Structure 1
Amino acid sequence: MQMSLEVPHDVQRMRRTIRFLSRPYLRLTRVLGGVLAVLGVVLIVLDPSLAFAYAAVVGGVAVVFAIEPIMVAMGMRSQAAAIQHGYHLTLNDEWMHIAYPLVESRCRWAGLDHVVETPEVWYVMFGKVQAMVVPKDVMTPQQRAEFEAFVAARR
């Protein structure tokens, strides 16, 4: 396999990537927020005069629904300016190479943990929260088929 792709900067793709990578942590946080809200409701039923119970319900509901947008916004703000440009993606049988105008990253496929496919991209995972993004929209149908076959052979 030998591919060379120009990938334009896409803010929405970056948001989806941050959301994807933070999903395992969000799941636990949302469960804990739901537990806090339910405990608050139970306390309100037992003693409606407890101010803490109302705070627990409001706080729990806020954690369940507001934590994801907050985490994505924080993740977007923490991105280095050097990667807020388009990049050149080179894929071959041994390496995955990403070159931004100011930064380069190169990983061997041997270090690959797994690949997660979504309708828009492939997330090439090199750890639990380290991913390189291979967008589908910049590939030809032949390149997509070739990359899919390459990934399938690595499983």
Structure 2
Amino acid sequence: MRISVSVPHDEKLLRRTVKFLLRPQLKFIRIMGGVLVVLGLVLVAMDPSDPIAHLAMILGLLFVVAVAPIAVARSMRGVPDVLKHGFHVTLDDEWAIVTYPLAESRFRWAGLGRVVETPEVWYIMFGKYQAVTIPKGPMTEEQREEFAAFVGRLQHTRG
């Protein structure tokens, strides 16, 4: 396999990748927020004048609603400028190579953790927080099929 495509900078794609990487932590925070809301409701039912009950509900709602957008926004501000340009991705039987104008990353398929496919991209995970985003849009239909088959074989052999 040898696939080589250029990917223009896409702020929305970068934001979706950040959300994808933050999803496990944000899920836990949302669950904890829900627990706080329920706890606050129980406490309010027991004593409507208890300020702790109202505080628990407010904090819980903030955890459920506000933490995710704030975390994504802060993460987006922390993305290095070197990644805020288009990139070129080259995929072959041994390597996934992502080249930006000022940086290059090379990943051996032997280090592959897992692959998550969405309608728009493949997230190639080389660790818990290390993802290479392979957008489907710049690829031809033949390249998408070839890469999907390659990834399927990789995942099958890795068990």
| TM-score of Structure 1 vs Structure 2, range by shorter chain | over 0.9
Distance 1:129 1:106 in 2: 16
Whether 1:95 and 2:98 are equivalent positions in the alignment is: no
Match of 2:150 in 1: 150
Superimposed CA distance per residue, residues 23-65 of structure 1 (whole angstroms, 9 cap, x where no aligned partner): 1111111110111111111111111111121111011011101
Aligned length: 155
Q: Between the two proteins, what is the percent identity of the paired residues? A: 54
Distance 2:85 2:121 in 1: 18
Offset at 1:135? 0.1
Match of 2:128 in 1: 128
**3-state SS of paired residue (1:137):** coil
Distance 1:148 1:82 in 2: 28
Distance 2:36 2:103 in 1: 43
What amino acid is the match of 1:149? A
Tell me which moved more, 61-70 or 77-86: 61-70
Aligned-CA RMSD value:
0.7
Structure 1 residues not aligned, in runs of 5+: none
Alignment of 1:3-152 (within 5 A): 3-152=3-152
What amino acid is the match of 2:152? A
**3-state SS of paired residue (1:42):** helix
Offset at 1:95? 0.4
**3-state SS of paired residue (2:79):** coil
Distance 1:37 1:132 in 2: 36
Distance 1:68 1:13 in 2: 17
Distance 1:59 1:92 in 2: 48
Offset at 1:66? 1.1
**Which stretches of structure 1, 4 residues or more, deviate above 6 A after TM superposition?**
none
TM value normalised by structure 2: 0.96
**3-state SS of paired residue (1:85):** coil
